[in-house]
Structures are given as C-alpha cells and as structure tokens.
C-alpha cells in the first residue's frame, strides 16, 4: 500500500540521491536477516535432502550414495510403519479433541455471567508451564501404585461405577499401567498433549467469538432461529470458520512435533506404540548416528508439515466463512 502512495505522490524532496541511499540502506538492513534465514533454515533443508540419499554418519569422512534405500526402509520396515501409524494416530486423536475442548470451553465461558476470567486463567495455565516438567508430574500422577489417578479410581470400586464393564474388570485385575501398556500409552500421551494445548485453542476461539457481530443473532431471532443449537449451527460456527482453520492448522503442526512427553516418559515404547517421527529423528539421526535415515525421516516430516500448510492456504482461499 505504501508503494502505491509513494509512486502516486512524487514529492520534491524524494530526488534521485535519497532514493539511491534508501535502496542501499534497505539492502544493508535486510541482508543479515536474509543471510541467516538462508543459512539457518534453507541450507539445513538442502543438507537433509542431500544426506537422505547417503549413508553418512558423523565422524566419518567418507560417505556413499545409496539412492532411495533410506526411503525404501521407511516404507517397508515394520518399525517405521509403526512410526507413521503412531504419529498420525497421535495427531488424529489430539487435534479434534483439543480443538473441540477449546471451542467448548470458549463457548461455555462466554455464556457465563460471573467468573469468566477465573476459568480463562486456569485453563491457560498449562500453556505457560514447561511441558517437560508437567509431563514428569503426569507420569507420577499416573504411577500404577503411587499415583493419584489410580488411587482415586480405586475408590470407586464397589460403587455403581462397576456397572461399566471396563471399570469392573479394572477393579478386579488392577487399573491400567497407562504409560507402560501398549494399548494405553499413546492415548495417555495424547491426553497430556490435549491437557497442555486446549487452553491455547480456547483463547484463540474467545478472540474469534468477540468478532462475531452481535446483530447477527438478533436478525436470526427475528427469522425464528431461537434454539441455542440452531444459533450455533447457523451463525457462530460459520463465523468462526477462519479461526477454526487457523486453530486446526496450529494444533496439527504442533502435535506432529510431539517430543518432550515421548522422550521423557515412554522412549517410543512400549512395542513402538508411541514411536513418533520427531523422536525417531532424534533416536536414529542423532543418538544412533544413522544420519542418512534420520535425514530421510526429516524430509518425510517436512513433507507432512508443508502439506498441512498448503491445505490451510487452500482452505483460506476458498473463503471459509459465508460459503
């Protein structure tokens, strides 16, 4: 916009010399950032791309080109298939619940007459706290014998809760080990991820809700739309379209990057059930120094992330609201 203004209003003092000076100043001011962006973000992508076709390991001077062998490994070996399954499953569990709870909390809080700020503060606390620290606390809370979760669940034994078959079985045979059980571990990590992230989504939705014009609800009421669910379906949800696209994208990209809880609590186990991609990159590429393989997983990961971003842009271009 400022460009248009500048060319549309040629000013006397903007003669050739200051313009040349401005061009030089601009190039000088922007060059540190440009150089660093290239060295720190673009170059590594290129490095990962090149090394993904090699068997490079750190500390050895030679390397051999292996073609698509690393990629073939990823798509054929069962442990990497499990990696992709675990990553996708984690994202598929976490994103809808985290977004849904964020929206639900925002709607409930907006409907309150008192206490809005209190709930907002409480729900936002996990976003502030170090995820690693809180993961370690959750691990302790979920400890099979010492933890508060199983202790509390055990209090319900003998009550009508036992009508729930899962509960009755757990009372008889013991409550789950959570992080130590391959059937529960990924869900438990997803639970921690949801616990940590939904307050963030709530805040974004609260911001989105304030921008829904009030008079739309009045107009709808005149048209006979009175039930809360109808109001939500016809006005609130469509108007929140852009917010939802944004929230879903962020939550997806973040849950693809889950690492802290995996590294600290499960190391990808049990039985690779929580072996997510970033952890695999860390374990293969760095801890085990299988750089070629790690680089191939890195490229696959970047592919996923780019795909999400491109999908988001598509959505936004299709003008998410009023459709």
Of 209-228, binders to another protein (CB under 8 A) are none
CB of 177 to another protein, least distance (A): 16
CA 116-121-126 angle, 5° bins:
140
Q: Give which of 142, 160, 162 is closest to 152, Cα–Cα.
A: 142
**Nearer to another protein among residue 16 and residue 165 (C-beta):** 16
What DSSP designation does 105 have? H
CA–CA distance, 182 with 189 (Å, rounded to integer): 12
Per CB under 8 A, does 207 bind another protein? yes
* One-character DSSP codes across 146-207: T-HHHHHHHHTTTSGGGGSHHHHHHHHH----GGG-TTTHHHHHHHHHHHHHHHHHHHHHHH
CB of 82 to another protein, least distance (A): 20
Q: Which residues 10-49 are close enough to bind another protein by CB under 8 A? A: 13, 18-19, 22-27, 29-30, 32-34, 36-38, 40-45, 47-48
What DSSP designation does 9 have? S
The interface region with another protein, picked from 180-188, 202-210, 234-242, 267-275 by CB under 8 A, is 202-210
Q: Which residues 87-106 are close enough to bind another protein by CB under 8 A? A: 101, 105
- What's the half-sphere exposure (Cβ side, CA atoms, 13 Å) at 223? 11
Q: 150 with 175: CB under 8 angstroms?
A: yes
Pick one of 170, 248, 278, 283: the residue that binds another protein (CB under 8 A): 278
Pick one of 125, 168, 219, 227: the residue that binds another protein (CB under 8 A): 125
CA–CA distance, 269 with 263 (Å, rounded to integer): 10
Q: Which residues 286-315 are close enough to bind another protein by CB under 8 A? A: 286, 291, 294-295, 298, 301-302, 305-306, 309
**Nearer to another protein among residue 136 and residue 157 (C-beta):** 136
Helix (H, G, I), strand (E, B) or coil at 145: coil
CB of 118 to another protein, least distance (A): 8
65 beta partners? 54
**Nearer to another protein among residue 79 and residue 152 (C-beta):** 152
Number of residues that bind another protein (CB under 8 A): 94
Site string for another protein, 44-83 (x = CB under 8 A): xx-xx--x------x-------------------------
């Amino acid at each position: 916009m400022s460009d248009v203004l500048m060319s549309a209003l040629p000013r006397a003092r903007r003669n050739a010399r200051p313009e040349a000076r401005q061009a030089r100043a601009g190039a000088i001011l922007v060059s540190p950032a440009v150089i660093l962006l290239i060295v720190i973000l673009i170059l590594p992508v290129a490095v990962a791309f090149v090394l993904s076709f090699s068997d490079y390991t750190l500390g050895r001077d030679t390397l051999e080109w292996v073609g698509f062998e690393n990629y073939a490994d990823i798509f054929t070996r069962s442990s990497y298939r499990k990696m992709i399954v675990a990553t996708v499953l984690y994202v598929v569990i976490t994103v809808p619940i985290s977004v849904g709870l964020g929206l639900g909390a925002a709607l409930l809080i907006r409907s309150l007459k008192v206490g809005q700020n209190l709930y907002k503060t409480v729900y936002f606390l996990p976003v502030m706290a170090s995820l690693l620290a809180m993961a370690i606390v959750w691990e302790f809370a979920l400890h099979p014998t010492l933890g508060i979760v199983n202790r509390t669940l055990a209090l319900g034994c003998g009550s009508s809760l036992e009508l729930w078959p899962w509960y009755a079985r757990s009372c008889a045979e013991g409550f789950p080990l959570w992080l130590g059980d391959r059937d529960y571990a990924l869900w438990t990590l997803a639970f921690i991820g949801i616990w940590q992230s939904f307050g963030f989504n709530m805040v974004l939705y609260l911001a989105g809700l304030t921008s829904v014009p009030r008079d739309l609800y009045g107009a709808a009421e005149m048209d006979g739309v009175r039930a809360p669910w109808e109001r939500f379906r016809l006005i609130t949800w469509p108007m929140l379209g852009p917010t939802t696209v944004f929230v879903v994208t962020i939550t997806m990209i973040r849950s693809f990057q889950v690492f802290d809880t995996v590294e600290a609590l499960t190391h990808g186990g049990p039985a690779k059930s929580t072996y997510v991609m970033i952890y695999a990159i860390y374990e293969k590429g760095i801890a085990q120094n299988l750089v070629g393989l790690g680089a191939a997983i890195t490229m696959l990961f970047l592919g996923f992330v780019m795909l999400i971003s491109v999908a988001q842009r598509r959505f936004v271009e299709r003008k998410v609201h009023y459709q």
